[in-house]
Structures are given as structure tokens and as C-alpha cells.
Amino acid sequence: MVDLRAQYEKIGPEIDNAIKSVLVSTSFIKGPDVKLFEQELQEYMGIKHVVSCANGTDALHLAMMVLGLVPGDEVITTDFTFIATVEAVALLGLKPVIVEPESGSFNISVEAIQKAITPKTKAIVPVHLFGQCADMESIMELAKKHNLFVIEDAAQATGADYIFKNGATKKAGTIGHIGTTSFFPSKNLGCYGDGGALYTNDESFANKLRSIANHGMKVRYHYDDIGINSRLDTIQAAILRVKLKHLSKFNEARKAVADHYDEALARCSSISIPERVKYSTHIFHQYTIKVKNGQRDELKKFLETKNIPSMVYYPGPLHLQKAYGYLGYKADDFPVTNGLCKEVLSLPMHPDMDRDQVDYITLNVLEFFNT
């Protein structure tokens, strides 16, 4: 699905030097590369503050912690996402309110958010799924009207641009009150272990996030907040500094692969190629097709026989996970997600795929459908 080895081979010497310099310096925690990476990412994202942390799940957890919410407050998020999004909400005793995505863009439906707002709603967590932004302008309008916080889960969209109606653009994750991301190895900007970060333009949020990600400590051994231990290792920061320099190029390469997939697959009436919305660029964290007529699993098996990996993101909707049974949702509350979970199939996608590889995959997909 991804070829991290090919990527390493391209930038290997740069990475090796970066790691080596941390080994020699021995500042493994909070070394200079951490601050430098945060500054470089701030610049790339066009945001005032980047606060690094240990992983994307912690980033969501930390974001929820600084909002000053109390148990029972409601947080609206999408049914079609990675579990971390809802986990952070539930762990703090807040009430996850799960709503449907749009079946075309896979992203949270603004209409569904609107219907789910109650006097207890305090925040909305849109997820920019598979590399394309949710409809942020509408979400921000709704949030303003109801006085809600917006936390963007941008783990899959590092580098995507949101395009406002007036033509202005902002990076995914920098539009809401706080944005979160993950540097899990397979993400578009991935490190060689776990890592994560938060984005905000609000200085008081930034200061508090910095503090609680480091035991609530502002001055050494003085604790102003109840915090956690969630820091980005210096080695990972050093690796990310190298990879950030290549991110735009890598995202462009993914888009070229996606264009090539689209071109070959558009004429196949048994599948739909990924919808591209007009308010966002797409950085193709995943290239996800929808397979009609209940043939998804058969296609997946057929591709396996041709040595082509494919993955189902996500096979089961959040509302049906055992751990979240206490929320009391029923299967038929979510027809859109139920449908998506049966139809989606993500094809191999990474910046180092060449045209022959894409051709081999698309020819086999078309062969399966006899087109």
C-alpha cells in the first residue's frame, strides 16, 4: 500500500545524517531539532503556533483537554473515521455525538452536524479524510452561530489546501480553533515511529498545550495544570525536518498517481473514482474507490491473486464498535456509513509509484469488471 523503503532509499543519506547528529548530541528529549521542526512546520502551515506531541491520538486528547469542557458536554464528529477521533472525546468523559459523512467526499456532512446540535454541544471535530478537506467554511459559520469550538483532525491531510469562496486558501488544520495531526510512518508527513502535533493561532491555547503535553509544567518542577507526558522525540523531529522539505514534492507525486488512476478507471461503470470537491485540494493520503453491486470483497480477492494489495478503510463504522455501545446507536441510524463500509476500497498510493505500477493495477481492476 505504501513503500516506505523506496522513500528511505531516496533520502537515506539526509535521514542518516539527521539521526546521527541527534545520537552524537544525546539531547533525545526536547533537543534543538524539536523547536526547529515546530518553527519550520509553522512556516509551511502558515500558522502562529505548532506544538509537537507524541502521536496524533494524543494531539486530539490534548486539544480536548484545553477547551475547558466538562463531562457530559457534547462533541460532534463523523461516523467514518479512524477510532482515535472519538476515543479522545470519550476518554475525557465528554459525549461523542456521531453523525453521518457525505457519501461522495467521505467527509462529515454539514447538514448532519446542524441536525445534531443541542444546547449541550460544545465542539465539532471534522476529519479531513483521505487527504481532502471537509467543508470548513460552512462548519466555521455553523460553529460561530452556535458558539462552538472546531478541532480539525488533519492527520490525513498534511499539506492540503482549503479554498475559501473568495479564493483565499489555508492549510488543512489551520482553519478551526485547533488542528491536530499525526506523523505515523504511513501518513503523508510521517516519521520513523510515533509523532504528532497541534496547530493554533491562539497564544493562550498554545501555551496551555505546551504545558499539559509536558506534565503541566511551565517552570521546571512547578505544575500549573494537570498534564500528561506527550512529547515528540528529538530523533523523530530531526527526521521530520528532512521529510518536511520534500513534502510538497511528495504530495504532487501522489496527485499524479491519482490523476493516472482516475484517467484509467473513470470509464468503469462498476466503480466510482474519488470525488474531488471544489473547496479543497486533494493530497491523496488514500486513493479510495467505491465498488458497486456488492463486488468489493471479490475485487479485493482478485487483486490479491495478482499480488496487488488493497485495504478497506474503514470496514466497520464507529457507531457499531463494542466499546461505544454505551452511546446507544443502532445500525440503521447510519445508512450512509453502512453503505460506505461495504463499498470502499483503497488502492496502493505513495509518492514513489511509477506509471507501470499504476497501469498494472488499473488493468487488473478493469479486467475484473471485463471493461
Ligand X SMILES: *Cc1c(COP(=O)(O)O)cnc(C)c1O
Return residues touching ligand X (CB under 6 A).
55-57, 81-82, 84-85, 127, 153, 155-156, 182, 184, 194, 196
Q: Compute the distance between CA of residue 31 and CA of residue 215 in angstroms, rounded to an integer.
A: 17
Query: In the bound complex, what is the minimum distance in angstroms from residue 337's beta carbon to ligand X?
Result: 15
In the complex with ligand X, which residue's Cβ is closer, 53 or 268? 53
Nearer to ligand X, 70 or 91 (CB): 91
**Residues 223, 208 contacting (CB under 8 angstroms):** no
Q: Which residues lie closer than 8 Å to 49 by C-beta, 6 or more apart?
A: 42, 199, 200, 201, 202, 203, 205, 206
The whole-angstrom separation of Cα 195 and Cα 308 is: 29
* CA-based nearest residue to 345, from 246, 237, 262, 271: 271
Q: How many angstroms separate the CA atoms of 23 and 17, rounded? A: 10
Q: Which of 105, 313, 357, 259 is nearest to 365 (CA)?
A: 357
CB nearer to ligand X: pick between 41 and 268: 41
Q: In the complex, what is the shortest distance from the CB of residue 147 to ligand X, in angstroms, rounded to a whole number?
A: 25
User: Which of residues 194 and 299 has its CB atom nearest to ligand X in the complex?
Assistant: 194
Minimum CB separation of residue 191 from ligand X in Å reads: 10
CB of 81 closer than 8 Å to CB of 107: no
Question: Residue 60 CB, nearest distance to ligand X (Å)?
Answer: 6
Smallest CA-to-CA distance from 75 within 130, 32, 117, 137 is with: 117
- Least Cβ distance, residue 21 to ligand X (angstroms): 25
Closest approach, Cβ 165 to ligand X, in A, equals 26
Q: In this complex, which beta carbon is closest to ligand X, that of residue 156 or of residue 280?
A: 156
From the CB of 81, what's the least distance to ligand X, in Å?
5
Cell of 350: 505513495
Tell me the C-alpha distance between 364 and 145, whole Å: 49
CB of 268 or CB of 318, closer to ligand X:
318
In the complex with ligand X, the residue whose CB is nearer, 197 or 353, is: 197
Closest chain position to ligand X (CB): 56
Question: CA 218, 221, 222, 225 torsion: positive or negative?
Answer: positive
CB nearer ligand X, residue 127 or residue 347: 127
Q: How far is the CB of 128 from ligand X (least distance, A)?
A: 8
Q: How many angstroms separate the CA atoms of 19 and 79, rounded?
A: 39
